[in-house]
C-alpha cells in the first residue's frame, strides 16, 4: 500500500520495477493457492516454493549421490564466477541486467546448497 501511494505522487523507475515485481509475486502466490485448493498440489512457480523444492531435491541428491551433489555445487560456483566476470566485462554491458538476474539466481542456489551441507553437519554433530 505504501508503495502504491508513493507511485501515485512521486514515481521513480525503481519504484515501478519494485511494484511490477511485487505484482508478479502476488499473482504467482494466488495461482499457487488456487492450484492447491483445486487440485491439492502446488505449481512450484513461486520463488519460495521453487527454493523449497530445490532444497528437497538437493538434500535427496546429497544423501543418495554425494559426488553428484558436489559436482553440482562446483558448477554453481563456476556459474557465479562466470556471471560476475561478465558483469565486470565492459563488452557485455548490453546484457548487464540479465547477467545480474542470473547471478542472483545462482547465488540463491549456492546459499541453499550451503545450508544443506551445514544442516547435515549440524545433524551429524548432534549425534
pLDDT digits 0-9 by tens, 92-117: 888 899 999 999 999 999 999 999 99
- How far is it, in rounded angstroms, from Cα 49 to Cα 59? 15
What's the burial of 6, exposed, middle or buried (CB within 10 Å: 0-12/13-18/19+)?
middle
What is the SS3 assignment for 7?
A: helix
In terms of Cα–Cα distance, which of 20, 126, 1, 120 is closest to 61?
120
Q: Is the pLDDT higher at 80 or at 1?
A: 80
Query: What pLDDT sits at residue 51?
Result: 72
pTM greater than 0.75: no
Q: Is 51 exposed, middle or buried (0-12, 13-18, 19+ CB in 10 A)?
A: middle
Residue ranges per structural domain of the chain: 1-45, 46-127
- State the pLDDT at residue 1: 61
Q: What number is the average pLDDT over the span 64-85?
A: 97
Q: Is the Cβ–Cβ distance between 104 and 47 less than 8 Å?
A: no
The mean pLDDT of 56-73, rounded to a whole number, is 95
55 neighbors 116 (Cβ within 8 angstroms): yes
Rounded distance, CA 47 to CA 69, Å?
Answer: 22
Amino acid at each position: 500500500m505504501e508503495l502504491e501511494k508513493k507511485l501515485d505522487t512521486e514515481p521513480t523507475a525503481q519504484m515501478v520495477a519494485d511494484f511490477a515485481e511485487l505484482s508478479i509475486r502476488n499473482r504467482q502466490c494466488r495461482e499457487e493457492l488456487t492450484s492447491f485448493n483445486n487440485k491439492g498440489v502446488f505449481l512450484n512457480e513461486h520463488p519460495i516454493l521453487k527454493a523449497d523444492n530445490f532444497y528437497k531435491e538437493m538434500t535427496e541428491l546429497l544423501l543418495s549421490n554425494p559426488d553428484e551433489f558436489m559436482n553440482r555445487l562446483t558448477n554453481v560456483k563456476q556459474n557465479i564466477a562466470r556471471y560476475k566476470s561478465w558483469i565486470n566485462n565492459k563488452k557485455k554491458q548490453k546484457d548487464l541486467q540479465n547477467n545480474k538476474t542470473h547471478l542472483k539466481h545462482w547465488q540463491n542456489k549456492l546459499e541453499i546448497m550451503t545450508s544443506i551441507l551445514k544442516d547435515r553437519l549440524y545433524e551429524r554433530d548432534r549425534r
